Chains A and B, each alone.
Chain A
Amino acid sequence: DTEVTQTPKHLVMGMTNKKSLKCEQHMGHRAMYWYKQKAKKPPELMFVYSYEKLSINESVPSRFSPECPNSSLLNLHLHALQPEDSALYLCASSQERWGGTDTQYFGPGTRLTVL
């Protein structure tokens, strides 16, 4: 089973709203990732959690706040977003193996629209 689930599938929010994106995997993976992707562009890395600790934060604005409650769950809390934050948000997980053999599996994504 290589399934990563994400909810919600679509989200429309105003600039003053607070919302959260949720990601879940039950593959025993120890690394989880958040990406932001604009249309026709590659995914841009936002955050990486390794063994439930934040290991990479790619200078993401503080209006995005990640949380890893346990090894299977990853949340992205959104607050005071801007219209330019509208994008596809992808979650991924991997086993966290060294040597370049780690394979990343992605969820279906959340399409976020900020009005």
Chain B
Amino acid sequence: AQKITQTQPGMFVQEKEAVTLDCTYDTSDQSYGLFWYKQPSSGEMIFLIYQGSYDEQNATEGRYSLNFQKARKSANLVISASQLGDSAMYFCAMRPYTGNQFYFGTGTSLTVIP
């Protein structure tokens, strides 16, 4: 069975500071993809970053980076230099090797304080 765990229901960060959102996953697949999505109050799920299970380098996309620790089965999202517009729900997701289903964590609500 595939499972994604996000243990931080809510997080606060000061503007311009960095923040780490935690994500752990459980899968028996050797090959899988890990994703982070941002969902502002408007509702749209915005794709942020992808990490493949065989990628040796941690993924980075602008201010977003993914701290991938395969042995610990964790895929934490790091947002550097937080901005007010980063306030949103953040979902970690996994796509296993087979099938076309994506599995989502319960989400973390991030609030950036001016």
B51 to chain A, nearest CB (A): 10
Residues of B within 8 A of A88 (CB): 43
Which of B31-39, B68-76, B77-85 faces chain A? B31-39
Residues of A within 8 A of B18 (CB): none
Inter-subunit contact B43/A109 (CB<8 Å):
yes
> B-facing mask of A55-67, CB < 8 A → 1, else 0?
1100000000000
B48-107 contacts to A, CB under 8 A, are 50, 52-53, 89, 91, 93-98, 100-102, 104-107
- Size of the B side of the interface (Cβ < 8 Å), in residues, is 31
Inter-subunit contact B32/A108 (CB<8 Å):
no
Residues of A within 8 A of B45 (CB): 43, 90, 92, 106, 109
Within the assembled complex, what's the spacing in Å between the Cα atoms of A96 and B37? 19
Who on chain B is nearest to A109 by CB? B43
Task: Check if B42 is an interface residue, CB within 8 A of chain A.
Answer: yes
Residues of B within 8 A of A31 (CB): 100
Inter-subunit contact B104/A100 (CB<8 Å):
no
User: Taking beta carbons and an 8 Å cutoff, which residues of B are in contact with A?
Assistant: 29, 31-33, 35, 37, 42-47, 50, 52-53, 89, 91, 93-98, 100-102, 104-107, 109
- A-B contact list, 21 entries, CB within 8 Å: A33-B102, A42-B91, A42-B107, A43-B45, A43-B91, A43-B104, A45-B101, A48-B100, A56-B101, A96-B100, A98-B97, A98-B98, A100-B52, A100-B96, A101-B95, A103-B35, A103-B50, A104-B95, A106-B37, A106-B47, A109-B43
